[in-house]
Amino acid sequence: MRIAIVNDMPMAVETLRRIVSGMPGHSIAWTAANGAEALKKCTQDTPQLILMDLVMPIMDGVETTRRIMIRNPCAILVVTATFEGNSAKVVEALGAGALDAVQTPTLVENDHLRPNSLMIKIEAIGNLISENDKSKQTSQFALNRGKSSPERDRLVVIGASAGGPSALATVLSPLPRDFPAAIIIVQHIDAQFAPSMAAWLASQTPLSVRVAREGDQPKTGTVLVAGTNDHLAFIDSHTIGYTKEPRDSHYRPSVDVFFESVVRYWRGDTIGVLLTGMGRDGAKALKALRDTGAFTISQDAESCVVYGMPKAARELGAAVEILPLQKIASRLMTCLELDNCKSWA
């Protein structure tokens, strides 16, 4: 994978260059000291992945990410020296299309590189980029849904990746405080940024938003956000928790893993939503949700920052409806208020 480095600190550039050069199958495409330089180089030679600093002169990482995703879209991983004071910028960069964020690693005293989270994320993104389309159409998920309970518990499950924070805010902001369903979100984001994203989303909506905790149960009017680098999943018909399995997933947390657990355990009504993001995570399990009677929605191409996950859902026939981002919230309300989601059993 050809990787570019955008960072104004020479020591950080050298550290990142050595890490990338030491990883089999990866090479440096180019380096840039600021966002303006990166935009020019990206136009001339678009790499497969950019390691993007946040705080730089001339043009910061957020604006650079936004412009690259419009002009020459590619995978972007935010690499920042410090998280303190930068959490809002990280969320903003993710909303602009960055896939994930990680702290800038350091070299150990003996000048050898120790394995670090940056290496893990580079490999995960490489696997994501190289994913082929051999995804099987047939769902093999175990079903244990049963019929809806008399009180008709309702759950909206949402998956998102690159561009997700902004898309999630667009969906959540119009929903009323008395929204008649629980909401659970799986966004591809490193655990250390999940609390900041949840707090930011809480400022965008009248609903209560927080990071999901082990043993939580869905609650009407409350939004729970996956908050660790393990997978969020239902562990029984009313309780969620975290699991390390599957360990070989390209995505942590994985939308597919969570949606699959909804198929297995949740016995109430379900609406599944798949938003902007790179790759195919969530598409197969969204199809499984539809096959079991859930109403399913995917974001349309025109409103996506990255039309990857929703595109995969469309190819599988996973979505009952494909909607512009701005219309998803109103469709959720129509479904729940009028109880007219035609795919519900």
What phi and psi values does residue 241 have, to the nearest 5 degrees?
-160, -170
Residue 139 is given by DSSP the state -
b/e string for 330-340 if b means 16 or more Cβ within 10 A? ebbbebbeeee
Give catalytic residue positions.
Answer: 161, 188, 281
Q: Of 289, 310, 287, 290, which Cα lies nearest the Cα of 300?
A: 310
| Geometric angle at alpha carbon 304, from 299 and 310, rounded to 5° | 45
What phi and psi values does residue 265 have, to the nearest 5 degrees?
-115, -35
Using an 8 Å Cβ cutoff, are 288 and 79 in contact?
no
Give, to the nearest 10 degrees, the angle between helix 87-96 and helix 164-172. Answer: 90
Q: What order do you get walking across the sheet with 295-299 strand by strand?
A: 208-211, 222-225, 182-187, 154-160, 269-274, 295-299, 321-323
**Tokens at residue 40, please?**
């020019």
Cβ burial, residue 85 (10 Å; 0-12/13-18/19+): exposed
For the chain, state the CA radius of gyration. Answer: 20
